[in-house]
Structure 1
């Protein structure tokens, strides 16, 4: 019975599970005509699995090792505004164990993401307002006969709105909200059935403090809502309600290198895997 329930619920991909989660300070604008090359390493593990708000198993093991390459170039639109076209390419490995071992494992490349957020400094306090469209191209590794995939086999459009409030000298408050729209996946499972997805929403709130001009600590919460699937015209019981937390440390090394470490976990989850550990590392080169 457990396999029947979870096989229907876990026919998800890394591409669908991944919204454009940000870290504290990500929406600070780059200087015009500058570039940023970023390399991310992300590790996450889960043991608990939930269905319709109820824990199905405490031994539903899943872990992911994901790398992400990201390139950004900033163009000036006005003295106080830039647009930052960028390309994002995930890659890595997904694996399940314990009660979830029947899901197997998979490795490969995720869906290519192209975005172009516009960032506007709106006052003398350097508060920032930004709106960014991101398009997910169905280019990632995908096999309809596998339960775990890095590609989503569907187009996705994500719109992300951000507002940064600076206050009390060294403090900043980051507010981010986004919504993701998806096309149908016409090869959603081994039977070749079609899957559609309702919009998925994510909200992120971070507070950060500049300990020194080169060192920043931050932390906050995120909430994911929606994303309910329909398989062969039948609504699935997989609507997401997920609350998570993150803490981070960001350090400049010299004028052009930046390293960032982030720890997190899920506080609550109503559907799917509940992460008990997440480690995000990032190396950035500014030029």
Structure 2
């Protein structure tokens, strides 16, 4: 019996462009138990010390520390045998702190943009019940934003994310999660001190995780992802800032009791073309089923 619960996130902040979307964790596209509501609470701590432009490190003392939280509510609606609909709402909040050469960017605290999602999950008639998932997420410009701030938790624009996933179960213990998504953005007509128009091309992300069900209540996952695209322009000037980022993740998920799950994930960036390079990340997640 699969015990993983749907939940995945990436906490976005704006520095020239937004670099995050809806990063997932191993088991996120297994269904929430039919008819149940899942309340998910996240904490993320990440540190960066290097900054890159066009693949070149321009500073090794460009420090950013993020301490972020997130609330997520997911409702599982069974549509038929093996078909699940999961509407959900996601709200990030937290604090960004800079140091070293990045100190001029200042610090930022507040609430991020509200994200509303609709996910459909289908259990396929394969030998071990593979899963197919399709998600649509709309991010509204509701978060903290000030055009005079270099760091913002809100983006001051709409974002649409389309996400697809396939989970292949090799047997009762081994699974492979594969997730891909594309993000599209509306214009930000109040970007920077001059209130310029920012446009951004589509952003693409691919993730894969090998998952092992170590015990009935405990699973381990290892994998990572790759991000590309999101080239932006400001007031018609091409910023030459297309993303090419690869990252690694190690995840432990455990049910304390049948309706309470905890997850610990460690990660770091492996290669960065543009922006901050994370040297370390800790994600904690608590899930309560009702």
TM-score range relative to shorter protein = over 0.9
Q: State the 1:188 CA deviation.
A: 0.7
- Number of the residue aligned with 2:8: none
Q: State the 1:95 CA deviation.
A: 1.5
Cα separation, 2, equivalents of 1:267 and 1:150: 24
Q: State the 1:285 CA deviation.
A: 0.3
Kindly indicate whether residue 105 of structure 2 is the aligned counterpart of residue 103 of structure 1. Answer: yes
Unaligned runs of 5+ in 2: 1-13
- Number of the residue aligned with 2:179: 176
Cα separation, 2, equivalents of 1:10 and 1:68: 20
Cα separation, 1, equivalents of 2:213 and 2:35: 25
Match of 2:261 among 258, 261, 273: 258
Match of 2:216 among 206, 210, 213: 213
- Number of the residue aligned with 1:161: 164
- Number of the residue aligned with 2:148: 145
Please give the secondary structure, in 2, of the residue aligned with 1:148.
coil
| TM-score, scaled relative to structure 1 | 0.95
Kindly indicate whether residue 198 of structure 2 is the aligned counterpart of residue 204 of structure 1. Answer: no
- Number of the residue aligned with 1:25: 27
Aligned residues: 276
Cα separation, 2, equivalents of 1:211 and 1:49: 38
Cα separation, 2, equivalents of 1:123 and 1:245: 31
> How well do the aligned residues superpose, as a CA RMSD in angstroms?
1.0
| TM-score, scaled relative to structure 2 | 0.94
* Stretch of structure 1 that moved more, 166-175 or 244-253: 166-175
Q: State the 1:227 CA deviation.
A: 0.5
Kindly indicate whether residue 73 of structure 2 is the aligned counterpart of residue 68 of structure 1. Answer: no
Cα separation, 2, equivalents of 1:137 and 1:123: 37
Kindly indicate whether residue 180 of structure 2 is the aligned counterpart of residue 189 of structure 1. Answer: no
Please give the secondary structure, in 1, of the residue aligned with 2:190.
coil
Match of 1:88 among 72, 87, 90: 90
Cα separation, 1, equivalents of 2:129 and 2:90: 27
Cα separation, 2, equivalents of 1:102 and 1:143: 16
Please give the secondary structure, in 2, of the residue aligned with 1:186.
strand
Q: State the 1:17 CA deviation.
A: 2.5
Match of 2:50 among 48, 65, 68: 48
Cα separation, 2, equivalents of 1:216 and 1:261: 11
- Number of the residue aligned with 1:4: none
- Number of the residue aligned with 2:129: 126
Q: Which runs of 4+ in 1 moved over 4 A?
A: none
Q: State the 1:77 CA deviation.
A: 1.6
Contact 2:15 2:152 in 1 (8 A): no
Contact 2:247 2:270 in 1 (8 A): yes
Match of 1:11 among 13, 16, 31: 16
Please give the secondary structure, in 1, of the residue aligned with 2:104.
helix
Q: State the 1:32 CA deviation.
A: 1.9
Cα separation, 2, equivalents of 1:243 and 1:130: 23
